[in-house]
C-alpha cells in the first residue's frame, strides 16, 4: 500500500504522455498535458506527506500535531494556477491554428505562410 501513490504518479505520467503521443486533436493534446502535469502535483504532495499529518497551519491546530511538509504544497499551489494560464495559451494557439489551416490535428502539416 505504501507504494500506491508513487505507482499512481507513474501511471498518470505515462497515460498523459500516451495521450500526447497518439491524439489527433490539439484540444485533447492540452487535456493530456494537464493529466501528465497532475502526476507532478501528486508526486510532490506524496513526498511531503507525513503519517497522520495535518495542514501546516499553527493558528487553530495545537502545536503537538504532526504537520505535513509546507514546501511541496507551496510548489504545487503556484503551479496549478500558472498551469491553467499556460493551458489557456496553448488553447489560443490551437484556435489560431484551426482558423489558419482548418484542422486541429497536430500530426498534419503546420500551416506555412510567407
Partner 1 sequence: MNDRLRNTLFGFAAALLAGGLVAAFTSLPTFGRQSGAYRALVLESMEPMRHAQQAVAAVTFDYRGFDTLAEEFILFAAVAGGLLLLRRQEDEETREPTDQAPDRAGIEAAPAVLGLGVVMFPFTLLLGIYVVLHGHLTPGGGFQGGVLVATAFYYVYLSGEYGDLLKIKRDHLASHLEAAGAMSYAIIGAIPLLSGYHYMRNLFPLGVSGELLSTGSLPLLNTAVGIEVASAFVLLIAAFLRQVLVIRREKKS
The CB-of-94 to partner 1 minimum distance in angstroms stands at 10
The CB-of-58 to partner 1 minimum distance in angstroms stands at 5
- Residue 9, all three cell numbers: 504518479
Instruction: Please state, as a whole number, how many other Cβ atoms lie within 10 Å of the Cβ of residue 7.
Output: 9
What are the two backbone dihedrals, phi and then psi, of residue 104, each rounded to the nearest 5 degrees? Answer: -110, 5
- Residue 111 contacts partner 1 per CB under 8 A: no
**54: helix, strand or coil:** strand
User: Which of residues 31, 37, 73, 101 is near partner 1 by CB under 8 A?
Assistant: 73
Cβ(50)–Cβ(68) below 8 Å: yes
Binding site for partner 1 (CB under 8 A): 2-7, 9-10, 13-14, 17-18, 21-22, 46-51, 55-59, 67-71, 73-74, 77-82, 84-86, 88-89, 91-93, 95-96, 99
Amino acid at each position: 500500500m505504501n507504494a500506491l501513490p508513487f505507482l499512481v504518479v507513474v501511471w498518470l505520467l505515462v497515460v498523459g504522455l500516451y495521450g500526447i503521443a497518439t491524439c489527433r486533436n490539439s484540444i485533447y493534446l492540452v487535456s493530456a498535458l494537464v493529466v501528465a502535469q497532475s502526476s507532478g502535483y501528486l508526486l510532490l504532495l506524496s513526498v511531503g506527506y507525513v503519517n497522520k499529518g495535518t495542514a501546516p497551519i499553527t493558528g487553530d491546530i495545537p502545536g503537538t500535531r504532526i504537520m505535513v511538509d509546507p514546501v511541496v504544497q507551496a510548489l504545487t499551489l503556484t503551479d496549478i494556477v500558472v498551469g491553467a494560464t499556460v493551458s489557456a495559451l496553448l488553447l489560443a494557439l490551437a484556435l489560431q491554428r484551426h482558423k489558419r489551416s482548418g484542422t486541429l490535428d497536430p500530426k498534419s502539416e503546420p500551416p506555412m505562410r510567407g
